[in-house]
Structure 1
Amino acid sequence: MLVWIEFLAAIISVVVYILTTYRTGDRPHWQRLAEIVCGLFFVIDYILNVYSSPVRLYYIFSLRGVIDFVSTLPIILYWSPIDNGAAGILLFFRALRIMPLITHVGGRTGGAIKEHIFILVMYTFGVVFIAAGVLQWVDNKMTKQSVKDENACSDTGCMTFFDAFWLMIVTMSTVGYGDITPKSNWGRAILIVLIISALVILPPQINRILHLASKRPYGGAFDVRKVVGSRFFIVSGNISFETVQAFLAEFYHPTHEKDMWAFPLQIVIMAPFKPSFELKSLLMHYKDRVEFIQGTPIKDSDLDRVSAKVASAVYLLADAQAKDPAAEDAAQIVRTLAVHRHCGSKVRVIVELLQPEKAADAIWDDTKDGIEIICLDPTRFKLLARSCHIRGLSTFVINLFRSGLDISKPLKDHWMMKYMHGLHQEVFPVILPDLFHEEKLTFEQAAELVYRKFSVILFGIDVRHEEDGEEFRDVVLYPRGRVLRPSDVGLVLSPDLKTAEKISKLDTIVHRRPGLLQFFCAPHVKSGLTKDSYPEEFRKLLDVVKQGKFSDMELNDKSQLNHELKIAIFDQNAKESEDSSVPKEDSSRKGDTGVSRHYGLTSHSCLVKGDKDGSSHGKARKQGIISQVSAGKAEMKVISAHQTRDTNKSLSKAKIFEEISDSLKIHRRVSFPPDSKSSAKTPRGAICNLEDAINVMMSWPPQEQNYKPDPAILERHATEILENLQRRTMKLVNLPVPHILVCIQGKWPSSLFYFVSQLRTPGLPNSPVVILHPNFPSESDWGNVGFFDDVYFVKGSPSLGLDLLRAGVIQAEKVVILTQGVQLEQSIGEHADDQDRSAPSQTFTLDVNNVFIAATVERLLRHETAKDRVIVELQQETEIQYLQPRLLFDRRIFDSEMYLRNRSATFQFAPPYIGGKAFCPAALGVLLYATFFNRQTVAIVDQLISGGQVLEYDEETNEERASDTIIRDLGQIPVPKSFVGFTFSELFIGMLRDHGALALGLYRITGLKHDGLGFVYTNPLPTEVVEATDLVYILH
């Protein structure tokens, strides 16, 4: 809109000037008024541009800044007491302000060549037009009066604007009629200069177009001068319209508007194909923010064209539907190493891999800091498994990092408004104010203060610690009892960055001074003030938080509340554990189990880190960070490390064996059978030789079940695995306890191990798992899940009701319907565009099959009993609307601009999604985007799903260490009866103070009128009344 206003003001100014060249008398009043209005507009626009520019001096002295400044001078000279005869030509120079609109319209012409041709034509016309104005003004001003009288010219001059324009056309076209000529020597000199300038300017532009015409379309370069004082990153790899649409909609969402104003963000999309018309139309919504350049990250020349060496980050996206994940990961590794070699360690390379085992490959050992590896497949299956016990968890986690549509037409007291409030709650890192450290607040005191003051939930911190002489940063969720330190960075749930920043500015808010006193006293805030200097209101709030009084709630029986919460959190889980068929472990093994699960500060994460800010891979942090890697890789690295040492240094075989044994015992907590050749003095369970150690690592079933077996191990034990499959195959499921039924219609998922492993987490309900699939799995497929207790297989099709009944769908506590990606058959060559990479018909067929299976399951369960027992995976988010229950709503209620940028985002309001019934693996791509703003994104999600360690203070070493037996877990409990009818604010404070639980949101069942299906309500309004049917998400 501003571009069009600028265009209109420039056109009016030029027209007014041309009209003045034909009048000798007084000008009409409307011309003067138009000149003043346009002049004020250009002055205000220049001031705002200077104020909002990231680098003001760069803008002021740039070509655009000079043009903007010149366009403001006419109004200054208009009111100047001196002769303003020069104001006319300055008024004419406002024609240069039309150029931004020409560039904007040029982008709609299609490819880069058409755009350059259009811009060249318009520039040529502009040069002729402005040259005519300059020539006419100079000639009329410099023509002598005698010459004017001799040629019977008016006092203004002998040449009109049309005469000057005609002269420029016939001269530059080499026609040269000679009927019109300049009457002054200065006019002839200006004409010579203009002709020479045109000859110098136009040929290079024509050569540039010819050069581009000989190459592929979109083969230009990214001008790094566009991002001086701001940021830009490159998106490459396997690009499709869907990924670009989601990527851009997330980055340029209004939630990040505050960050964009402070640090503007440019995005360069680099792909080895030309964009389709659909993608071109999408990019028009992000004009001047996003550029598409044809190229590949493997070539140094293409990386130079996009200025990769000065980029903030380079994203390398993988093809999630690749038929051969190993081949796709190999291509990703090649791209990553090429970019890292070209850019160095200062540029973040965020690469997506499909197989988590590839994150531990030795190929990364020789690379330096700067590479961040993210694998989303384990997260996908762990999230599905955890959703079997926590309703709506998938929606809750994804919405924490994904921005949603805005409802432009508020619906009073409607459930969609409450859900939209929770949908806008995102995770933001914040710098904690100094007063937290000065007052020595514990985490829970700070969390209560932040919630009372800003209605924002502080749920974790990013802590700094040292290891092997290096500093690292790790995430800790809800570190209850920990006194906050100056180096801690808070993690909050906030509706936008502006609200989150208020927490960091709490010092300024508390110590606010009136008027100019605030400006001069601002440095005094940093020096630390006494408690008495706090404002009265804040001092009372601080006293309430530190004293922990419960005066703002009128609860009749506090002890009854304690009892109810303990029952809700612990007794329910204990009852489910007793009903499980998994044998209980003795207390002596619980501590070891906790260690073996590696509940690290970044546990189970496929983000490989190693440097101080957690952005790189490698180094000593690989252990415990790269999780669920094959059972023998860590130990084999120990052997490899010794074998590659200097041969001159003698190292006995016994020494090697001793270190391997210690590594196995410490990191794996496994028990080994006694060696028959060992002496009587050898302790039971110890490994006495290298052969035994290797046999243990190559065993199946594995001694340690928290690591995915290596394919070589599965191949070696193929016979045992098939025998295990035969024993576990059932024709009719009739188990004594409810089970989890996994329906797979397509290809067997290679990462199903993570699903079963999550369900076998100690301390959580260990329900039996029944897998229904049309074909018998191979030894490599079954070998990854068959060694777990109570995992069974049923051969049959999930689309047949009879097979579902044989698999025990009636007795199942949860039915999980998995999907599987397919390989794109279209060409991916250089001449293909992104439309060829769109989802093929097979993808929609898989989704239709899953929708059909879900409907069949619900029919067998008679709908009313299937309220929350079905979880469906779909490849396409747009297909979620076809699941039951369906909801039709007018798309006009959404913000029009946001809807045009991402039309498929309406699925976020579909009842199956908001209730956690439907899940799309592609939705996890939001974690890739969020990693740019918060490097700990994957670690946060991992701990929300699998748990995180609790920090304990070691008095002997005077340091913090992670507990070996206690974990911080995300749970879901019914609302305690004593809180029913109270507000969420009272629930939040009451549970935080008296029960050690941090409430994050609600799962509300009432309000939808759709068979009891609820919706996720993250960080509800403080005044929201809690209902008896609500479920509470808590960290405990």
Structure 2
Amino acid sequence: MSEPHSPSKKDVPKHLRRAISNKEALFHVSLNWSGLRIGLDPWMQEVDFSINLVFTLEYALHVYASFDRLEYVVGLFPMVEFAVVLPSWFDLLAAHVAGISSTSTLLQTSRMLRSLRFIRIFRLVQFATSSLQQQAWAAMLTIVSIVFTTAGVVQATEACLVACDDEPRVCKCRDLSFPNLLYFVVVSISTLGYGDIAPVSTSGKFVIAFVILFTFIVVPIQVNRIQATITSHTDYSSAYSEVKLHPHVILTGYMNAESLSIFFGQFFHPSNLNWNERVVILNASQPTSEINKVLHAYDSKVQYIVGSPMLDEDLTRAVLCDASACYVLVNRQSSRPQYADQCCGLITIALRRGNPTCPIYAQVINSRNAATLLKTGASDVVVIGMLKFSIIGRSSQVWGLPTLLHNLLAQCNSDLDSHHSSLQWHRQYLHGYMHGIFLVDIPRTFSGLTFGDLIRFLYDKVSIIPLAMLTDDGVRFMDMEFKLGATADPNLCCKVYAIAKGLTAVEGVTKIPPEQILSYRKGVRRKGKLMSSNSLDEMKKIKPALGNEIGQIRERIINMFTVAEDYDVEAALGLAEKRELADYELLPGEMSEYERFVSLGVPEDVTDHIVVCGFPSDTYHFIKTIREAPMPDDLIPSPAIIFLAPTCIDEREYERLRGFFLDVYFVQGSPINFGDLKKTNIRWAISVLVLTQASEAQYSDPNMVDADAITIVRYIVEISHRTRMPNFVVELDKSSNVKLLSSLANERRTSSAFGLPALVHRNVSHRSPRHHSVLSRRDSFWSSLDDGDGNVDATLVLEEFIASGRVFMNSMLDALMSECYRKPWIAQFFHILITGSINDLEERRLFQVEAPEELIALQYGECFRKFLDMANCTCIGLWRPERGVVLPHPCVFINPPTDLQIEPGDLFYVVGTPFTFASTPNIFTH
């Protein structure tokens, strides 16, 4: 797409004719400034004729090229153009025909028609860049052309062509200067005149009367058009005009208020260094009242433009050619997910066509479309369905996983360590909440250390935990013996994805004195002489990346997502083959595999299984994540999975699962029906996952989108109040609805099957002791949270279902999308963190192990070093079960204080090659 502000070569003649028209009008004013000039010098006549010859040819070409020539000729402006070119031809005729004097009617008409040249200034209207500017220019030029044209015509009609010494009223003529005539015309059409100047000729009086009536008709029409344009013109139709002052990103696709609020909260967070950035929203529809509330909160940083990303003129208004990045959001509640992905694909193509180099971050629902989107121009893709259901699937085995990931993405604006709470678990939990994932530049002075040495040094010095490295093949978990080298940047060793407590901790890496690093490296070398360590051969081939190896990393991601497409092809071929052989394999009355899956239900002996209420949109990756996850004991098989839903998946989706997964069952029914819940053997389940079945335009109140999920939770609590269920995760589309979940377990704390969190009473609860003084301190604490957190509702941070890791909120996906700009490939980092990488022979990923007896009563910092030194793994936090009054519900602690004491039942979050204490019981005894 051509740049919007650079005129093309074909427009040069048009601009030249406009300039000549304006100069010709100004030349006419200068000639007649003191009075009407009857004759022209020969050279003036030649120049005037040459210029008008050009306009005559232009008029003739327009007539010839018009579709309806008669309609064109009788048009207003074509008639004016025709009248304007006549004077030069009249002068030519008078010069070659004898008997035509200066007082003849022909030349008198010629002098009057010359004044119509001022109407040509309407060509300037074409320079307007908006409809409002066009109407304003048209109104202004209408008045200017009326005044100057009338002044010229009156000057020609009133001029004395023959000398007359009597009074003007007697001579019926007078010579007037152009300034006086301008004054006379303005006064006449505005106040009906003062009488100091008045026409004396009959034709002059007729012209003034006609102009006054004409002005009364035309000017109000123009004013009404301006008013109508202003009424229809909103702030959303203007173009982005601060491109030279502030770089901007373009946000397009599907918009809703909650997604925008989460996105802006993350994007404009101080830790993201986007203080000088602007966000331009390009959307085809007007913003809703809810979206307007969000826009007003970021009024100076966000501009909303109503327009389509499929139209070049709207992309020009959004200044796509100078955009720093583009985001394409998908409608994840669409009833037609494939159509929603196709829309994102088309938008991506349009954006890439308009800017070949701008990073484009897009969302898709179905993993089968991710590779296609990357091939069409997206720099990175966040696969909503695969990522969401991979997290929910792993949360059935990794307790508290949703909160662990949510808190690593959500960032607060204040140092919560400075706030005081009467409860110790508040301080420990909020200490972890302040941590986040950052892409940290490691200086060149760290070259020569191993990756394990880097973790030890940064953890001790600045409490930063490196987890993965950005390489030329993408994000990878590194072996602890991998030796850090260097990059093409003389000041950079590598880029690592690390857990850090805010931007201050990240900046502290560059402030570490080189002497400390060199001293530590020498100590490690001396130690290395005593200890033998061998680096893996494949690790030697890994090259750290600077982050600009976009093409190579994109190809690697495309290959990763292409696997999903291959499975679809295999499923389609299997389904076709099955249909061809159905007539021969099935006996009369015999059911097919799909029919048996739908109708047979669950065997009675199924126990220690996972119950899923609802079907995920990406069932394949949901089950795949559970099946590939490491088990606590090598002898225990992967748990069976039972889906409870009103309708089953279609046969094509079943074929996609049939050849890869066993022990998958389906119960047709409703989770809010006691009988249907009992059919799933829920009393013997190890995990229950409740999915939100949200679709667009289903509820009049958008906050009711989680009504089904919340109701299901209540019914499951009712049916299982005598059975203890150790794990329970519910998906919520609206973050604020988590408060309703807490109220379900208020009176069931002692008898609840799940050990569910209790009701959050803002006046009386375990949070708020009944003593008035403590209550005041608690209120002050919550107020400081509200003031300090600009990202989400801070009161939700300490909600029991969030703190215990029992709820997955879709806002996490919006936060991840926002982070893609300043933290490249962070979506890939979270993908390999949850499910591992197909290229990693060690199958490193996030897993969970229970604290063994050897670590009980030790401090967390000591346990961190034991995991690193003896298991070659990195510990990033722990999940602690409830402890009565001290800890009334389970809680997730991210990188807790080093002096936190380990207690029985604690579950460590560990990143590395999964292991179990059953297979390696003596791992911490050496």
State TM-score, norm by structure 2: 0.62
How far off is 1:253 after superposition?
A: 2.3
Which residues in structure 2 correspond to 1:669-818 (within 5 Å)? 699-700=573-574, 723-728=592-597, 729-731=599-601, 733-744=603-614, 748-761=615-628, 764=631, 765-787=637-659, 788-818=661-691
Instruction: Measure how far apart 1:300 and its partner are.
Output: 1.1
CA distance change for structure 1 residues 489 and 712 in 2, over 3 Å: closer, same or farther? farther
- Taking a change above 3 Å as real, the CA distance of residues 239 and 478 of structure 1, as seen in their structure-2 partners, is same
Tell me the residue number matched to 1:335: 347
- 2:549 maps to what in 1? 613
Q: Is the 8 A contact 2:602 2:665 kept in 1?
A: no
User: Which whole-Å CA distance do the structure 2 matches of 1:945 and 1:389 have between them?
Assistant: 12
Provide the residue aligned with 1:242 in structure 2: 258
Question: Quick one: higher RCO (CA 8 Å, sep 6+), 1 or 2?
Answer: 1
Task: Work out whether residues 372 and 616 of structure 1, in 8 Å CA contact, stay in contact via their aligned partners in 2.
Answer: no
Amino acid paired to 1:801: F
The match for 1:1027 is 903
Q: Does residue 497 of structure 1 match 2:503?
A: yes
Structure 1 match to 2:826: 937
Which residue number in structure 1 is paired with residue 280 of structure 2?
268
Are the aligned partners of 1:740 and 1:815 in contact in 2 as well (CA < 8 Å)? yes
Task: Find the counterpart in structure 1 of residue 865 from structure 2.
Answer: 989
Which of residues 823, 827, 847 in structure 1 aligns to 2:696? Answer: 823
Which of 205, 213, 218 is the equivalent residue of 2:236?
218
Tell me the CA shift for residue 760 of structure 1. Answer: 2.1
Aligned 8 A contact 1:245 1:901 in 2: no
Q: Check the 8 A contact 1:947/1:967 in 2, yes or no.
A: yes
Query: 2:565 aligned with 1:629, yes or no?
Result: yes
The aligned amino acid for 2:404 is F
Structure 1 match to 2:438: 428
Q: Please give the residue correspondences for 1:814-893 in structure 2 after superposition, counting only pairs within 5 Å.
A: 814-824=687-697, 840-841=700-701, 847-862=706-721, 865-866=724-725, 868-884=726-742, 885=757, 886-889=759-762, 893=782
Q: Deviations over 1:917-975 (max 9, x none)?
A: 111234222221111111211111111111236xxxxxxxxxxxx554x2112211122
Q: 1:474 to 1:776 in 2, by over 3 A?
A: closer
In structure 1, C-alpha distance between the alignment counterparts of 2:780 and 2:394, rounded to whole Å = 33
Tell me the secondary structure at the aligned position of residue 623 of structure 1. Answer: helix
Distance 1:980 1:548 in 2: 29
Residues 854 and 632 of structure 1, relative CA distance in 2, 3 Å threshold: closer
List per-residue Cα deviations over 1:408-460 (Å, max 9, x = no partner): 742155322222221121111122122211xx110001110011110111112
Say if 1:732 and 1:335 are closer, same or farther in 2 by CA, change over 3 A. closer
Checking the alignment, whether the CA contact within 8 Å between 2:433 and 2:894 is kept in structure 1 is yes
For residues 860-919 of structure 1, give each alpha carbon's deviation from its aligned partner in whole angstroms, at most 9, with x where no partner exists: 3326713x3221112222111122423244597244776795564533321112222111
Task: Determine the C-alpha separation between the residues in 1 that align with 2:840 and 2:710.
Answer: 44
Contact 1:448 1:545 in 2 (8 A): no
1:236–1:624: structure 2 CA closer, same or farther, 3 Å change rule? Answer: closer
Once the two structures are superposed, residues 215-273 of structure 1 have per-residue CA deviations (whole angstroms, 9 ceiling, x without a partner) of 4552111113453xx532011111111111111111122433xx245xx2211122223
What whole-Å deviation, never above 9, does each CA across 1:582-607 have from its counterpart, x for those lacking one?
Answer: xxxxxxxxxxxxx9xxxx999xxxxx
1:1001 and 1:1033 in contact (8 A); partners too? yes
C-alpha separation between the residues in 1 aligned to 2:280 and 2:242? 11
Match of 1:252 among 268, 271, 286: 268
Q: 1:372 touches 1:615 (CA, 8 Å); kept in 2? A: no
Structure 1 residues 891 and 725, CA gap change in structure 2 (3 angstroms): farther
Aligned equivalent of 1:470: none
Whole-angstrom distance in 1 between the partners of 2:593 and 2:469: 45
Q: Is the 8 A contact 1:733 1:806 kept in 2?
A: no
- Which residue, out of 289, 296, 305, partners 2:301? 289
Decide whether aligned partners of structure 1 residues 422 and 930 sit closer, same or farther in structure 2, where only a CA change above 3 A counts: same
What amino acid maps onto 1:317 in structure 2?
L
SS in 2 for 1:629: helix
Closer/same/farther in 2, CA of residues 214 and 861 from structure 1, 3 Å limit: closer
Alpha-carbon distance in 1 for matches of 2:354, 2:230: 25
The structure-2 alpha-carbon separation of the partners of 1:373 and 1:777, relative to structure 1 and needing over 3 Å to count, comes to closer
What are the Cα deviations for residues 311-335 of structure 1, in whole angstroms up to 9, with x where unaligned? 1111111111111112212222221
1:714, 1:316 → 2: CA distance? 39
| Counterpart amino acid of residue 253 in structure 1 | H
Report the CA distance shift for 1:489/1:776 in structure 2 as closer, same or farther (over 3 A): closer
Distance 1:894 1:475, change over 3 A: farther
Equivalents in 2 of 1:779, 1:740: separation in Å? Answer: 22
| 1:880 aligned counterpart, secondary structure | helix
Letter of the 2:335 partner, please give it. K
Cα gap change, 1:997/1:302 in structure 2, threshold over 3 Å: closer, same or farther?
A: same
- Equivalent of 2:360 in 324, 338, 349: 349
* Aligned twin of 1:360: 371
Instruction: Give the AA of the match of 1:942.
Output: H
Cα distance in 2 for partners of 1:547, 1:400 equals: 37
| CA apart distance, 1:698 | 5.2
CA contact (8 A) 1:434 1:486 kept: yes
CA distance in 2, matches of 1:543, 1:206: 82
**Alpha-carbon distance between aligned partners in 1 of 2:686 and 2:780, rounded to the nearest angstrom:** 36
Which position in structure 1 is the counterpart of 2:314? Answer: 302
1:442 to 2:463 alignment? no
CA–CA distance in structure 2, aligned partners of residues 869 and 632 of structure 1: 32
- Asked if 1:233 is matched to 2:237, the reply is no
> Aligned equivalents of 1:409 and 1:242: distance in 2?
28
User: 5+ unaligned residues in a row in structure 2: which ranges?
Assistant: 1-130, 137-189, 192-221, 488-493, 529-537, 632-636, 743-756, 763-778, 913-926
Matches within 5 A, 1:523-542: 534=515, 541-542=520-521
Q: What is the Cα deviation at residue 309 of structure 1?
A: 0.8
Counterpart amino acid of 1:485? G
Cα offset for 1:462? 0.9
Q: Deviations over 1:270-311 (max 9, x none)?
A: 222333444334333323222222222111111111211111
Match of 1:448, as an amino acid?
R
**Partners of 2:412 and 2:788 within 8 A in 1:** no
Cα 1:898–1:626 change in 2 (3 A) is farther
Matches within 5 A, 1:144-159: none
Q: SS of the counterpart of 1:750?
A: coil
Q: Aligned pair count?
A: 636
CA distance in 1, matches of 2:581, 2:335: 26
State the secondary structure of the residue aligned to 1:218.
helix
User: Once the two structures are superposed, what CA deviation does each residue of 1:360-393 show, in whole Å capped at 9, x if it has no partner?
Assistant: 34x865x5x5543321101111111111111011
Report SS of the residue matched to 1:484.
coil
Change (3 A) 1:947 1:431: same
Alignment of 1:466-505 (within 5 A): 473-487=473-487, 488-505=494-511
- Matched residue SS, 1:755: helix
Change (3 A) 1:897 1:1013: closer
Name the CA distance, whole Å, in 2 between partners of 1:989 and 1:854.
40
